[in-house]
């Protein structure tokens, strides 16, 4: 069974440009999450989808970030325009349900560098 897959794995863009990150969750997982780790800091929650609905987007840093999950399958996270402080690793994760015993599975991350 395929795990959580993310694309691109690495991206280098200039300040002011746009980048779109994609996440394909594990098939059948209704819950999809985006997290971010900037250099040397903790991994911070960005937002949580349940199917196609945004359940919690309290961690989104500002309106330059837009996440979508049309049809409740894959998700995209767009950063427009990118700033230097957006550099970091963006992790996507998915889980099957909301009970405490469910495990959240993470992808390998999309490493973003803004120069």
As measured in angstroms, the least distance from the Cβ of 74 to other proteins is: 17
Q: Which two tokens stand for residue 37?
A: 């780790």
Q: Among residue numbers 11 through 30, which ones bind other proteins (CB under 8 A)?
A: none
Q: Which residues pair with 44 in a beta bridge?
A: 36
Say whether residue 100 binds other proteins (CB under 8 A).
Answer: yes
CB 35 within 8 A of CB 21: no
Say whether residue 33 binds other proteins (CB under 8 A).
Answer: yes
Say whether residue 56 binds other proteins (CB under 8 A).
Answer: yes
Which member of 24, 75, 91, 112 binds other proteins (CB under 8 A)?
Answer: 91
Say whether residue 35 binds other proteins (CB under 8 A).
Answer: yes
Q: Which two tokens stand for residue 49?
A: 């989808």
Phi (first) and psi of residue 50, to 5 degrees: -115, 110
Q: Which is nearer to other proteins, 85 or 108 (CB)?
A: 108
Q: Is 61 left (phi over 0), alpha (psi -120 to 50) or beta?
A: alpha
Q: Among residue numbers 58 through 87, which ones bind other proteins (CB under 8 A)?
A: none
Q: Helix or strand or coil: residue 12?
A: strand
Q: Is the dihedral of CA 74, 89, 66, 60 positive or negative?
A: positive
- Which residues make up the interface to other proteins (CB under 8 A)? 6, 31, 33, 35, 37, 41-45, 48, 50, 55-56, 91, 93, 95, 98-109
């Amino acid at each position: 069974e395929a795990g959580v897959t993310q694309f691109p794995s690495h991206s280098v863009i200039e300040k002011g440009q746009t980048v779109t990150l994609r996440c394909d969750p594990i098939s059948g997982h209704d819950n999809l999450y985006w997290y971010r780790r900037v250099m040397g800091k903790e991994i911070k929650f960005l937002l949580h989808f349940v199917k196609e609905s945004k359940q919690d987007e309290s961690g989104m840093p500002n309106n330059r970030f837009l996440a979508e999950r049309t049809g409740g399958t894959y998700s995209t996270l767009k950063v427009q325009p990118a700033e230097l402080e957006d550099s970091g690793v963006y992790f996507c994760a998915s889980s099957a349900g909301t009970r405490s015993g469910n495990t959240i599975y993470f992808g390998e991350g999309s490493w973003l560098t803004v120069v």
